[in-house]
Amino acid sequence: MTRKALASLAALTLTAAASFAAEHIGGRLPPGPPFDYHSYANVDQFRVTHLELNLRVDFWRKTIAGVAALELKRVDPRATQIVLDTKDLMILEVTQKATDVVGATSKNETFWVSRPFHLEKADPILGRALVIELPSSRSTTEIIKIAYETLPDSQALQWLTAKQTARHKEFLYTQSEPIGTRTWIPLQDTPQVRATYKAKIHTERGMRAVMSAENDPAAKQTGDYTFVMPQPIPSYLMALAVGDIEFLATGPRTGVYAEKSILKAAAKEFADTESMIEANEKMFGPYRWSRYDILVMPPSFPQGGMENPRLTFITPTVVVGDKSLVSVTAHELAHSWAGNLVGNATWRDVWLNEGFSDYMESRITGAVYGEERASMEALLGLKSLRADLAKLKPSDQILAIDLRDRDPGEVFSDVPYEKGRLFLNYLDTKFGRERFDAFLRGYFDHFAFKSITTEDFLEYLQENLLDRFPGLVTGDQVHAWVFEPGLPADAVLPVTSMFQPVDAVRDAWLNGKPLAKHVGLDWVAQQWLYFLGQMPASLRTAQLAELDKNFGFSKSPNAEIAHSWFKLAIANEYQPAYGRLEEYLTSIGRRKLIAPLYEALMKSPPGVLVAKRVFAKARAGYHPETAKAIEAIVEPKGEVGE
């Protein structure tokens, strides 16, 4: 059967499962592994259980080259072909470990036998299937070695030149989620397969390599490093960074890796990480990954944070000096339970990672920084969700989203995050905190180190919450949350009194009352974000000048506040802010912060000119995926030249 036919068959059964789920929320998918539209891997025949990498990171050539050894479990005894995911990889050789072959002098001698392989036609999103022929065998495990090399513009990698980093040394990092791992390792790039790994990384002396694995903070910067990840993780959590990185401990099992210029500030900003872990452990069970370190990324890092196990990657834009944006770390830490421990089987199920982590982020923030801050952040999240819902077509408003023929990296919206969070809030309120926390602890235990589908979760929810405490929430209500667009009418929404004084100041000012000297002196970052976020779209130049003069928004050290301000400035073509705006867009690459600003600029003819000029200047500093996304905004398809 062709892949297309298989895909439509799986689509049919998925629809059938969804309508079955309408009557009974514990809907079941057809037997066998869930179909992942974003991987070519034949997981019903072989499954990778362990990975060993021996790679050289070459800054001069901008390549990673070496060998990946894959330990495979033969699930189907008749299988004679393994299909792996690759994208923009040069495959040099494939060999298989063979014992007892003709010519062996002793029984235990190991031979590596060359195996035929070919690459299928490239798909622009998925890349190329690597098909390897293996002789039929009764053995249930096989080991293959693939010698390969990445290309300089591999999607998951950003190679920063010395000029682009704080220390004027080169830097390399990976951003694998969702389907980027195949651009630097040939493997089964689907989250439903979990494998342990070991790695040897060789690079220049004086550079330190770190990975989503056991890192040795005391390792000498010799250029040769070894890593072990003893827990099975999905492929999107494979991560590597190499740079002039130093380490500072913040607690017995926590610390910060960063370039020297930001190391101390970062350690101060993230000083509460141990308290966050303890808060989470108290609510949701043990932290099972031994250490939790944070790597502060170069400013071009496209995400706020990435939950690479044992070593979260974090944007430097959250190092503000007042801990006001550290809920990003709370969110990434929460993934150590939601996602990394129990995670999505396919990208349709990503809300199981993101919605749960957002919910847990609120709980951690509440425990460490107080309920007021948590509720303000939840309310800002809700505002952002509502704005997204207003733009998204109904089928993209459901939690279990259909991603067929789409790039899962481009479809991310607030829905899996904020709607997911509200769904868990709803269950929390309906069943009561004690029961709900016990349920979540049980869930993380039950599925520990497994990847699950939405349906697996719903079945577990039915048995362990709905049926155990009947009469509180119906299957239909849960179904509406997961499979229907919009927000259910009985959603439990966050409330806070912290925004009342902010509304009062804004309303009075909009009605002509001048800003008093003391206004905002006691406001926290979330109140400023709300102050700016709820401004009317259209303001007069004099009003914007008054705001900037009083509050210094253009110069704000807080990248989120600056972002909100620039949005307002652009919408009103407030030129005096454009100098700082240009600096902002050329110095950071976090997508959530820069893409909306380019979009806003593109709405007016003078803005278009600014967007194009600034992008031309900034582009080389952005991560390749970010550059692609911004290019799509600034040079929309169909536009031919100028």
416-435 footprint of ligand BES as x/- string (CB under 6 A): -x------------------
Q: Which does 422 bind (CB under 5 to 8 A by kind): ligand BES, Zn ion, none?
A: none
Interstrand relation of 117-119 and 128-133 (parallel, antiparallel or unpaired): antiparallel
Q: In 120-181, where do the E strands start and end? A: 128-133, 141-150, 157-160, 171-174
The footprint of ligand BES on residues 299-338 (CB under 6 A) is 303-307, 328, 331-332, 335
Calpha distance 95→37 (Å, rounded): 28
User: Residue 170 binds which one of Zn ion, ligand BES, none, with CB within 5 to 8 A depending on kind?
Assistant: none
Query: Exactly one of 36, 177, 560, 625 binds ligand BES (CB under 6 A); which one?
Result: 177
CA-CA distance, 416 to 343, in Å (whole number)? 13
Q: Are 203 and 209 contacting, i.e. CB atoms less than 8 angstroms apart?
A: yes
In whole angstroms, the minimum distance from the beta carbon of 309 to ligand BES comes to 12
Which residue's CB is nearer to ligand BES, number 398 or number 610? 398
Cβ at position 501, least distance to ligand BES in Å: 26
| 3-class state of residue 530 by DSSP | helix
Q: Does 269 bind ligand BES (CB under 6 A)?
A: no
Q: Which stretch binds ligand BES (CB under 6 A): 27-35, 297-305, 454-462, 622-630?
A: 297-305
Question: What does residue 119 show for φ and ψ, rounded to 5 degrees?
Answer: -105, 135
Return the number of the residue (338 or 568) whose C-beta is nearest Zn ion. Answer: 338
CB neighbours of 328 closer than 8 A, spacing ≥ 6? 304, 305, 314, 315, 318
Contact 144, 137 (CB under 8 A): no
In the complex, the smallest distance separating the C-beta of residue 146 from ligand BES, rounded to whole angstroms, is 25
Residue 390 CA to residue 412 CA, distance in Å, equals 15
Contact in structure between 122 and 128 (CB atoms under 8 Å)? yes
- DSSP secondary structure letter of residue 39: -
Nearer to ligand BES, 417 or 426 (CB): 417
Q: Which is nearer to ligand BES, 26 or 381 (CB)?
A: 381
Closest approach of Cβ 341 to Zn ion, in Å?
A: 14
CB of 215 to ligand BES, least distance (A): 20
Query: Cα separation of 268 and 270, whole Å?
Result: 5
Angle at which helices 559-571 and 541-551 cross, to 10°: 160
Catalytic residue among 148, 369, 417, 584: 417
Active-site annotation holder among 142, 170, 332, 377? 332
From the list 241, 274, 273, 272, the residue with the least C-alpha distance to 259 is: 241
Residue 373 CB contacts under 8 Å (≥ 6 apart), including other chains: 365, 366, 524, 526
Q: State the nearest-atom distance from the C-beta of 177 to ligand BES, in Å.
A: 4
Distance CA 601, CA 528 (A): 23
Tell me the C-alpha distance between 586 and 622, whole Å: 9
Residue 335: CB minimum distance to ligand BES, A:
6
Distance (Å, whole) CA 237 – CA 51: 13
Please name the residues in contact with 494: beta carbons below 8 A apart, sequence gap of 6 or more: 375, 378, 379, 381, 382, 425
Q: Which residues, numbered 338-357, are part of the site for Zn ion (CB under 5 A)? A: 354, 357
Rounded Cα gap, residues 289 and 310, in angstroms: 6
Strand, coil or helix: what is 299? coil
Quick check: is 417 catalytic? yes
Is the CB of 285 or the CB of 305 nearer to ligand BES? 305
Of 150 and 365, CB closest to Zn ion? 365
Cβ distance to Zn ion smaller for residue 26 or 355:
355
Please work out, in degrees rounded to the nearest 5, the angle formed at the alpha carbon of residue 507 by the alpha carbons of 504 and 511.
Answer: 135
Helix 433-446 / helix 420-431 crossing angle, nearest 10 deg:
120
Instruction: For the CB of residue 331, give the shortest distance to ligand BES in the complex, in Å.
Output: 4
Does residue 578 have an active-site annotation? no
Comparison of 208 and 623: residue with beta carbon closer to ligand BES? 623
CB of 525 to ligand BES, least distance (A): 14
Spatial distance between the Cα atoms of 385 and 401, rounded to a whole number of angstroms: 16
Interface with Zn ion in residues 530-569 (CB under 5 A): none
Nearest approach in angstroms of CB 329 to Zn ion is 11
- In Å, what is the CA distance from 181 to each residue of 187, 193, 197, 239, 408? 8, 13, 14, 8, 13
- Residue 191: contacted member of Zn ion, ligand BES, none (CB under 5 to 8 Å, by partner type): none
One residue of 34, 127, 409, 607 binding ligand BES per CB under 6 A: 409
Pick out residues in 530-559 that bind ligand BES (CB under 6 A): none
Identify which of residues 49 and 413 has a Cβ nearer to Zn ion in the complex: 413
Q: Which residue is nearest to ligand BES (CB)?
A: 304
Size of the site for ligand BES (CB under 6 A): 16
Cβ-Cβ contacts under 8 Å for 140 (sequence gap 6 or more): 73, 74
Q: Supply the minimum distance, in Å, between the C-beta of residue 327 and ligand BES.
A: 6
For ligand BES, the closer of residues 130 and 319 by Cβ is 319
Residue 247, strand partner residues: 257
Is residue 592 at the binding interface for ligand BES, with CB under 6 A as the rule? yes
Radius of gyration of the chain (CA): 25
Question: What is the spatial order of strands in the sheet that 245-249 belongs to?
Answer: 245-249, 254-259, 292-296, 311-314, 305-306
Between 417 and 483, whose beta carbon lies closer to ligand BES?
Answer: 417
Q: What string marks each residue from 348 to 377 as x (binds ligand BES by CB under 6 A) or -?
A: ------x-----------------------
Question: Which residues of the chain form contacts with Zn ion (CB under 5 A)?
Answer: 354, 357
Residues annotated as catalytic are 332, 417
Question: Which residues of the chain form contacts with ligand BES (CB under 6 A)?
Answer: 177-178, 303-307, 328, 331-332, 335, 354, 409, 412, 417, 592
